Amino acid sequence: MSHSASLPADRPERTTWLILVAISLCHMLNDVMQSLLAAIYPLLKSEFSLQFWQIGFLTFAFQGTASLLQPAVGAITDRRPMPMSLPLGMASSLLGLVALATAPGYAMLVTGAMLIGIGSAIFHPEASRVARMASGGRYGTAQSFFQVGGNAGTALGPLLAAFIVVPQGRGSILWFTALAALGIVILSRVGAWYAAYMRASAGRRKAMRPHGLSRARVRQAIVILALLTFSKNIYTASITSYYTFFLIEKFGLTQQQSQIMLFLFLAAMAVGVILGGPLGDRFRPLTVIWISILGVLPFTLALPYAGLAATGVLTVIIGVILASAFPAIVVFAQELVPGRVGLIAGIFFGFAFGMGGIAAAVLGVIADHQGVEFVYRLCAWMPLMGVLTIFLPREAAMVAVPEAEARATLTTGDQPEI
């Protein structure tokens, strides 16, 4: 088969790079706002005398909200696309920033985290759909381009916190509402393109070449992909939520130094995302998933016992390898369930990330009782779940039906079921 198990017969031949740049830039702005929350945890812990479980609950409030809403938003917009929901999601994140900057107590901090989570839930399914629309059939490359914006935003958050929020105080978070306003403007234009694309496609029936797998086999594969993403997100949550504390406690670094180290990890993840999509297009998504999830295990096992310099090197290696899996996982899942781009985005951007948020809360309790170093010795084993990849269908099993039957398989808006 080709690298896509379900190919629209009338897909565009050219990649719409301007839209991909715009949606990637907005993904960066969205995730800068998200990452600011985790980046200012040391500041919040000191200002509000928080315990680790409260830090974990803030992560849960953000990721849990996104987890609950994203699959639902994706499923709804699969059936009824909502182009102008994109700027509304960014507006919710803007309100979350205002809440974080002005919060008088912990309850308002939780509210701010939830508003950012709602913004994420609205943004990701529709933005992922726009990326696929603009891909010109280069799905892995487009998914990487879209995701690298998010990873870049996540990486910039700690630097912005270290050099702006920490010196200037929590109120300086309000300055970042300007980024949210810019995002609203850009997404309004992207939404207009999206609406025009939908109008141009109205009434056009698309012939799909099904992959030939049974519904039960598809469900099994989606669960496995979600578990692989879950294992990756648990490890990532341990870094984004507690890595700065780990470095301060073990090596005596300052807050700014620890934020720079966190930036190295997050920047490495951005590089991994850039590589993962094109490599998936070239060598098949399944190959990238194998190497990325299971291949990172030796490095995660070594990290808790390394010195400061080696810790920096290991976190960069881990970030690159681990992040390369995600574009391949998303594209593989989209091929398994053609026509449900929003639902798949909701599951893998939302639900699996939300499960990472639950894990972050649990890890906070563990850190309170066993110490933050124990958290990294425990999480080091999560990539072992990569062996589940053996249960995913091989490309050879995902055989298209004969072309004559494919031409008879016409969709008029009906969506395949998982």
> What is the model's pLDDT at position 322?
86
Give the model's pLDDT for residue 38: 76
At residue 301 the predicted structure's pLDDT band, cuts being 50, 70 and 90, is very high
In this prediction, residues 347-358 reach a mean pLDDT of 70
Nearest to 293 by CA among 328, 333, 331, 325: 325
pLDDT at 403: 35
pLDDT of residue 211: 60
pLDDT tens-place string over residues 303-317: 999 999 999 999 999
Average pLDDT of the chain is 80
pLDDT at res. 395: 56
- Tokens encoding 242: 């507690």
Question: What integer pLDDT is reported at residue 60 of this predicted model?
Answer: 80
Lowest mean pLDDT among 208-222, 241-255, 389-403: 389-403
pLDDT of residue 25: 93
Determine the pLDDT at residue 256.
79
> Residue 11's pLDDT is what?
43
Share of the chain above pLDDT 90, in %: 21
Q: What number is the average pLDDT over the span 254-269?
A: 84
List, for residues 371-413, the tens digit of each pLDDT value.
888 988 888 898 888 888 888 887 544 544 433 333 333 333 3
Bigger pLDDT: 388 vs 183: 183
What are the angstrom distances between the C-alpha of 371 and each of 13, 132, 249?
54, 43, 10
The rounded distance, in Å, linking the Cα atoms of 133 and 65 is: 27
Domain ranges of the chain: 17-196+215-393
The most confident of the ranges 59-73, 100-114, 159-173, 316-330 is 100-114
pLDDT of residue 74: 84
The token pair at 15 is: 């990649």
CATH superfamily of 17-196+215-393: MFS general substrate transporter like domains (1.20.1250.20)
CB under 8 Å to 263, separation ≥6 — which residues?
155, 156, 158, 159, 162
Predicted local confidence at residue 87, as pLDDT:
95
Cβ-contact 226, 347 below 8 angstroms: yes
Query: pTM higher than 0.75, yes or no?
Result: no
Residue 108 has a pLDDT of 95
Cβ atoms within 10 Å, residue 322: 28
Higher pLDDT, 56 or 49: 49
User: Which tens digits make up the pLDDT trace of 67-124?
Assistant: 778 888 888 888 888 888 999 999 999 999 999 999 999 999 999 999 998 998 899 8
pLDDT above 70 as % of the chain: 87
Confidence of residue 206 (pLDDT cuts 50, 70, 90): low
Distance in angstroms (rounded) separating the CA atoms of residues 311 and 342: 38
Quick one: pLDDT band at residue 215, thresholds 50, 70, 90?
confident
Distance CA 397, CA 206 (A): 23
Say how far apart CA 234 and CA 65 lie, in whole Å: 17
The pLDDT value given to residue 9: 38
> φ and ψ at 411, to 5 degrees?
-105, 140
Q: Are 97 and 81 in contact (CB under 8 A)?
A: no
Pick from 46-55, 127-136, 174-183, 273-282 the range whose average pLDDT is largest. Answer: 174-183
**416 pLDDT tier (thresholds 50, 70, 90):** very low
